[in-house]
């Protein structure tokens, strides 16, 4: 099960460098997680300042 980023994302970018598989990228309005590349490690969720990253 992959992680997802909700609409509460403030596009701070703190999650992107934490991802060991580079599954996170900047989308049009917020960051997004590629479900195929996500290994469900939770590193991104641990650093999110607004807690908008959860398991799908």
pLDDT tens digits, 1-56: 899 999 999 999 999 999 999 999 999 999 999 999 999 999 999 999 999 999 98
Quote the number of domains for the chain.
1
Place of tokens 């641990």: 46
Handedness of CA 12, 56, 33, 47 (dihedral sign): positive
Instruction: Write down the pLDDT at residue 50.
Output: 98
Q: What is the CATH number of the domain that holds 17?
A: 3.30.70.20
pTM, rounded to two decimals: 0.92
Which residue range(s) make up the domain with 42?
3-55
């Amino acid at each position: 099960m992959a992680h997802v980023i909700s609409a509460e994302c403030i596009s701070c970018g703190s999650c992107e460098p934490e991802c060991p598989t580079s599954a996170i990228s900047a989308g049009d309005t917020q960051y997004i997680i590629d479900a195929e590349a996500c290994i469900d490690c939770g590193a991104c969720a641990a650093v999110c300042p607004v807690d908008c990253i959860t398991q799908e």
